[in-house]
């Protein structure tokens, strides 16, 4: 495994390098700006003095020694024959710095001119004008040494300051990241200690409402969901074991009695004691397989299905062997678009639940409402207490006091809701003064099939 720098080190290194790059670029721009501003200021002063000297030369008031130029500057006025008419003290007694006719418009060039015992480079502006004895040429400039010295001083300061600032920033990034990543590492260590045996453990937050604090809260919420899911799974296994234990015990007792008295076997009773519990176990296993397919989010194959026909068929089946009145006079046409097997299983579970609770009758209502096929299943039983209205959709939940015809596995309603949601429908419990009222809503053909077929370029259903 390739060893890499830690996240803290990499982030510090990258941040420091980026900041250093920005500082270097900024320093270069600062140096360039300083040099251009100093040069522009010197040029403006030189051009102003150039204009003044041209005026003095034109009026004949020019003095041989020019005193209004600072120590970093130079000026010289040259006559028509190349003689020096006036000059600053640093050029006194020296020949003309150049022999050029620049014209009336000022022009600039660089000259090397003596300054005391050394030669300096000057940025010189020059132009011609008219004097008492003819055309004169005026040269005014400033030494580039001052600009170079100012730039060098700033460069030295930046050479020292930029590394110091970069190191200081790197230290700050290192410390801040250490604090933040230290909190993250504590969260990681605490989560790493969580196992299936202690899902109740939680991450200790530090009370800071920032990204790390919210991460700790999110981890606690996730651990809470895992804990609840594990508890639900344990309860599920316990419920399944309990529901399988009774029929298995019944079968075992029946077989042991038959084996103990083989000459006096009651075939009819043995068949009832063995096959009856087997039927219950088969139904429970089928229900568990359906729940497994719902949990696995198995893809469904929706197709046009007449909800009213399914309801009428299941109502006919439910009437067999019961004395209840199952009313279907309010069942009207309601085309839906869902998996036909899922729809039939939902309707059957709702009817069996209603029959198990009803006192005298069950009312079925089927209609189309707001582009949805709707089935209402109502019974006149004891109803469902307010605190049980969502729990009835929990797996293996049984309201024992409200089941006069025997308690089932407690999976009928959870399966019905799961299948409805898998087909993009809804199953809810509607408030009612007495009895229970379940409402199933499934997408209709116009809501789903026509849109899909229209996108595919097919003819809409039904024609």
Question: What digits encode the pLDDT tens for the residues 131-161?
Answer: 887 888 888 888 888 888 888 899 999 999 9
Whether the pLDDT of residue 255 is over 50: the answer is yes
Contact assessment for residue 408 and residue 347, using Cβ atoms and an 8 Å cutoff: no
| Beta carbons of 346 and 400 less than 8 angstroms apart | no
What residues contact 113, with CB distance under 8 A and at least 6 apart? Answer: 74, 91, 97, 119, 120, 122, 124, 141
> What is the CATH number that goes with domain 13-150?
3.30.450
Report which of 92, 175, 188, 80 is spatially closest to residue 131, judged by C-alpha positions.
Answer: 80
**What gap in Å lies between CA 248 and CA 95, rounded to an integer?**
128
Residue 20, pLDDT score: 92
Q: How many CA atoms lie within 13 A of 405 on its CB side?
A: 15
Confidence band of 245 (pLDDT split at 50, 70, 90): confident
Query: Are the beta carbons of 166 and 19 closer than 8 angstroms?
Result: yes
Q: Could you read off the pLDDT of 190-223 as tens digits, one per residue? A: 888 888 778 778 888 767 777 778 888 888 888 8
Contacts 24+ apart (CB under 8 A), 421-426: 422/294, 422/297, 422/298, 422/300, 422/339, 422/342, 423/300, 423/302, 423/338, 423/339, 423/342, 423/343, 424/338, 424/448, 425/338, 425/372
What the block records as the tokens of 32 is 């360039």
Please give the backbone phi and psi of residue 207, each rounded to the nearest 5 degrees, phi first.
80, 5
Q: Is 328 exposed, middle or buried (0-12, 13-18, 19+ CB in 10 A)?
A: middle
Q: How many CB atoms lie within 10 A of CB 59?
A: 10
pLDDT attached to residue 461: 42
Q: Residue 447's closest CA among 428, 460, 438?
A: 460
Of 233-247, 378-392, 414-428, the range with the lowest mean pLDDT is: 233-247
Please tell me what DSSP assigns to residue 104.
Answer: S
Top CATH class, 303-456: alpha beta
pLDDT in tens, 75-105: 888 888 888 888 888 777 788 887 766 677 8
Residue 364: what pLDDT?
A: 95
What DSSP line would sit under 354-410, residue for residue? HHHH-SSEEEEEEEEETTEEEEEEEE-SS---GGGTTGGGSTT---GGG-TT----S
pLDDT score of 74: 85
Distance CA 293, CA 288 (A): 9
Strand spans (E) along 88-186: 107-115, 118-131, 134-143
**Mean pLDDT confidence for 14-28:** 92
| Number of residues in the chain | 463
Residue-wise pLDDT for 404-443, tens only, equals 444 456 788 888 998 999 898 999 988 888 889 999 999 9
User: Does the pLDDT at position 449 exceed 80?
Assistant: no
**Tokens 């590394």 belong to residue:** 163
CA distance 367 to 153: 90
The whole-model pTM stands at: 0.53
């Amino acid at each position: 495994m390739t060893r890499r720098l830690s996240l803290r080190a990499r982030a510090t290194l990258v941040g420091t390098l980026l900041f250093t790059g920005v500082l270097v670029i900024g320093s270069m721009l600062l140096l360039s700006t300083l040099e251009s501003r100093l040069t522009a200021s010197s040029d403006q002063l030189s051009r102003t003095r150039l204009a003044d000297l041209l005026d003095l030369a034109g009026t004949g008031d020019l003095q041989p020694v020019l005193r209004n130029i600072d120590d970093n500057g130079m000026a010289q006025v040259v006559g028509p024959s190349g003689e020096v008419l006036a000059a600053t003290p640093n050029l006194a007694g020296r020949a003309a710095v150049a022999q050029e006719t620049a014209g009336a418009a000022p022009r600039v060039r660089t000259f090397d001119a003596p300054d005391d015992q050394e030669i300096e480079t000057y940025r010189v502006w020059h132009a011609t004008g008219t004097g008492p004895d003819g055309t004169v040429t005026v040269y005014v400039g400033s030494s580039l040494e001052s600009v170079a010295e100012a730039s060098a001083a700033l460069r030295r300061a930046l050479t020292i300051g930029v590394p110091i600032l970069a190191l200081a920033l790197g230290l700050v990034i290192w410390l801040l990241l250490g604090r933040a990543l230290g909190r993250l590492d504590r969260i990681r260590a605490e989560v790493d200690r969580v196992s299936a045996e202690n899902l109740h453990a939680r991450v200790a937050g530090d009370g800071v409402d920032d990204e790390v604090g919210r991460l700790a809260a999110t981890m606690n919420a996730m651990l809470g969901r895992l804990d609840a899911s594990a508890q639900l799974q344990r309860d599920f296994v316990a419920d399944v074991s309990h529901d399988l234990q009774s029929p298995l015990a019944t079968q075992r007792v029946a077989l042991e009695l038959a084996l103990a008295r083989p000459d006096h076997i009651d075939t009819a009773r043995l068949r009832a004691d063995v096959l009856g519990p087997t039927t219950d176990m088969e139904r429970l296993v089928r229900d568990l397989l359906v729940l497994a397919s719902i949990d696995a989010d198995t893809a469904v194959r929706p197709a046009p299905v007449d909800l009213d026909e399914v309801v009428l068929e299941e109502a006919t089946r439910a009437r067999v062997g019961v004395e209840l009145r199952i009313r279907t006079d309010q069942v009207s046409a309601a085309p839906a678009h869902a998996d036909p097997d899922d729809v039939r299983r939902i309707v059957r579970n709702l009817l069996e639940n209603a029959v198990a609770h009803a006192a005298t009758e069950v009312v079925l209502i089927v209609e189309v409402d707001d582009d949805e096929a709707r089935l209402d299943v109502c019974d006149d039983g004891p109803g469902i207490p307010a605190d049980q209205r969502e729990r009835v959709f929990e797996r293996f939940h049984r309201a024992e006091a409200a089941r006069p015809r025997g308690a089932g596995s407690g999976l009928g309603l959870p399966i019905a809701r799961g299948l409805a949601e898998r087909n993009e429908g809804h199953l809810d419990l509607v408030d009612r003064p007495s009895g229970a009222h379940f409402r199933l809503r499934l997408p209709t053909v116009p809501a789903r099939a026509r849109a899909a077929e229209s996108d595919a370029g097919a003819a809409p259903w039904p024609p």
